[in-house]
Structures are given as structure tokens and as C-alpha cells.
Amino acid sequence: MIIAVTGTKGGTGKTTISTNIAIGLMQQGKSVSIIDTDEGQFSVLDWSSNRPEELPTVSVLKVPTEKIGAMAREQAKHYDVVILDGRATQTEGTDRLSAAADIIIVPVKPSEFDIRAFEKYFERYKTVKAISDDVGKKIEAFALRSDVKKGTKGEKELVELLEFIKEQNPGKLRTFETTIYDREIYKQCAGYGTGVAEENNKAAKQEMGQLINEIISIINEF
């Protein structure tokens, strides 16, 4: 199973989600490999270099854009789940990542700019999906509300706008039930090389656990 965490906008939480779902899925007994496709930053590699030795090792590879598809397929032979951590661009690289995946997760933050950027990504995705449908490859895209301040007007607007986009595009977009809220622990985990599933913040653990359950049931649908 190949999961791409992607989008055309920077700083939406792609790497935060990639690393946290990797740890969460590993805790549920899945073998996981992360492919860091963000040439120039390679944030997942930074994260894994901070990881304490006593914790389970996470496989992380860095791959140039043109090799994403081949490398993802190769890793998928050896691991239950391959996670592609995307790079924020409006280029063919983003389309390659989408095309390589079974499941696409697009983190969206509650801001006008982020919603606009999501719509741009989604237009590109629809072309990739049309081609995938044509060749009989199943692909499913999910928006994930990310880095949200709980109980704000922004949260409410984000929910409504994503519902609207979904209604306008029947069968082409799904959203997660889970919302990933703005929590300090996510920033800290980046420095610790861990996931919130390995830390003591109850609320973060609970929301990540809920997201992992959703992802596992989606994997089981395929």
C-alpha cells in the first residue's frame, strides 16, 4: 500500500503527518518505509536522525523526483505501507507522487491561501485520477484538516469549504473524520525524532490514534 502525503502548498503539515502516521501504523503492527521526496530539505531524514536509538528503527529513503514511482513500487514489495512525503510544488513532481499512490492524503490548514492552494492541487489530481481510472488503477484522495486551532471560526469555515468542494466533485474526494489540531507536541516530536503516539500528550495521542484507525480501515477497503 502506497500512501502519498502531498499538496502544492508549503508548510501544511505534510512531514508532520508522514512521520506521525509512520509511527502510528508501526505501533499497529504494520511494517512501514518512508520515502522523503523533498529534495533540498529532506526533513524526514532530519527527523529520523534525531530519533533515540532505543526506539524502533524507521526506514527512511531519499529519492529524486524522477525515481519516485519505481522506488515506491520496489519498497511496497518489502513493506506493508510505503509513505511518500511530498514536496510543495505545482509541477510534474507532484503529479508523479499522486500517480504513484493508492491513497493520497492532502493536509489543509484553515486559511484562505491554503484552501486556494488545495483547489489548485485538486485540479491537478483530477487529471491524474482520470488517467488512473482509464488504466484501471484505483486511487483515492482524502483531505485532512491540519494544524487547526480548536473551536475557531477558521475551523468551521474549513469544514464547510471542504464539504462544498466534495459536493461539487462527487466520488472524487473524501475527508477524514479526524482533525489534526495545532499542538505544541507536534513541533516537539520533529526535534525528538518521534511520533505523538510515543509521547505523553493524551489529546494528540487520541487524535492520531483515531486517524490511524481511519487509515487502517481505508487500507482494508482496497
Footprint of ligand ATP (CB under 6 A): 10-16, 38, 41, 43, 88, 146-147, 180, 182-183, 186-187, 190
Place of cell 515506491: 72
Nearer to Mg ion, 169 or 188 (CB): 188
CA 105/CA 14 separation, integer angstroms: 9
Binders in 79-138 for Mg ion, by CB under 5 A: none
Q: Order the strands of the 140-148 sheet from edge to edge.
A: 59-62, 32-36, 81-85, 2-5, 103-108, 140-148, 174-181
Q: Which helix (H) or strand (E) holds 192?
A: helix 184-192
C-alpha cell at 175: 475527508
| Residue 171 DSSP code | T
- Binding at 183: pick from ligand ATP, Mg ion, none (beta carbon under 5-8 Å per type): ligand ATP
Nearer to ligand ATP, 75 or 146 (CB): 146
Q: Tell me how far, at minimum, the Cβ of 221 lies from ligand ATP, in Å.
A: 26
User: Which residues does 131 contact at the CB level (< 8 Å), separation at least 6?
Assistant: 99
Binders in 29-68 for Mg ion, by CB under 5 A: 43
Size of the site for Mg ion (CB under 5 A): 3
Nearer to ligand ATP, 89 or 132 (CB): 89
Contacting residues toward Mg ion, per CB under 5 A: 14-15, 43
